[in-house]
Structure 1
Amino acid sequence: MLTAGRKSMWRSQYQLALDGAQVAEWDPKVWKTGGRFTLDGQDFEVRAHGWGSTFSMTDGQGTVLAEAQRVGRKNWTVQAGDVAYEFQRVSIWRNDQDLMRDGVPVGTIRQTSSWSGSLEADLPGLALPVQIFIVGIMITWWNSQAAAAA
């Protein structure tokens, strides 16, 4: 399970841990939507496009590795290479997301604390950079929702 929690209340960075072992830090952009992370010495950047419902992840050379479409809608997708992953918001009252396969939930992303912004993701079968991309999108999207509500 991949977990994300703020480094401190005064910083916007998140520590990402896989099964309890820290693997990366999510560093959100200050003036733009998205962020970046380094995993096993490789840099990745996540950018939002349009109105913040489309995201892409690139490596250090600028190659697009994954794209997310319709983020924030009831149903949205992530394309990573030749594989498309479908997600569905669980309820209009909650921000939890299910990873769907053939109409059946096989994984989840859920906010464990709306106050601190912590979350956990159980996304079996997805490569770790793609999991971090999705978690970064959720952090970005949930934070922008909180800012709009304030």
Structure 2
Amino acid sequence: MLEIKPESTFGRGYEVLVNGMSVGTWSSRVWRSGGQLDMAGETFEFRSGSWGRSFEMLAGGTVRAEAHRSGGHWLVTGEGGPYELKRPSFLRGKRQLVADGRVLGEFRSSGIRGGLTADLGDVPLPVQVFVGLVVLTLQRRQRTTVAASAGS
């Protein structure tokens, strides 16, 4: 089971765990989507582009995974892909990872500090983490939008 959880209450760092064991850390940026992921001895750059309608994860200048918004879902390419990231219901915050019409697993929010969990079976770990970071970023954007509209 994949878990991405905040390292502290107000920090920007996240710990990446698989089956309860730490496998990496993600340091998110303050003002823009993205950040640096250190996992399995590699450093990845996670970044957003195209007005927030795409994400990519690079290692050594090579794109290892990418996601592009297409209508109400995201098309994800990466090792073992392609995949789709779907939101089965607008009212539910959960998102599903789908390949060849089969649901591989579901990302669920965990805790009040903004973490998530997912059980994605045989999906390669870098792809699991990449899609998890996409989901976290989308959740953060949604919370920011809700907070801004509540304050006006």
In the superposition, the TM-score normalised over structure 1's length comes to 0.89
Q: How does 1:127-146 map to 2 (within 5 A)?
A: 127-146=124-143
CA distance in 1, matches of 2:88, 2:80: 26
Aligned-residue sequence identity (percent) comes to 35
Q: Report what 1:54 is aligned to.
A: 54
Q: Report what 2:68 is aligned to.
A: 69
Deviates more, 1:74-83 or 1:138-147: 74-83
Q: Does 1:117 align with 2:110?
A: no
Cα distance change of structure 1 residues 81 and 120 upon mapping to structure 2, 3 Å threshold: closer
Matched position secondary structure for 2:97: strand
Deviation string for 1:31-58 (max 9, x for gaps)?
Answer: 2211221112110011101121200110
Deviation string for 1:96-133 (max 9, x for gaps)?
Answer: 111223323221111123x2112101122221111111
For these two proteins, the number of residue pairs brought into alignment is 147
Q: How does 1:1-150 map to 2 (within 5 A)?
A: 1-59=1-59, 61-70=60-69, 74-81=72-79, 83-113=81-111, 115-150=112-147
Matched position secondary structure for 1:87: strand
Matched position secondary structure for 1:51: helix
Deviates more, 1:61-70 or 1:124-133: 124-133
* Cα displacement (A) at 1:3: 0.5
* Cα displacement (A) at 1:82: 6.7
The question of whether the paired residues in 1 share the 8 Å contact of 2:12 and 2:29 is answered with no
The question of whether the paired residues in 2 share the 8 Å contact of 1:33 and 1:48 is answered with yes
Q: State the Cα RMSD in Å.
A: 1.7
Deviation string for 1:32-88 (max 9, x for gaps)?
Answer: 2112211121100111011212001100x21111110117x5322210157201121
CA distance in 1, matches of 2:124, 2:104: 15
The question of whether the paired residues in 2 share the 8 Å contact of 1:34 and 1:137 is answered with no
Give structure 1 stretches of 5+ with no counterpart.
none
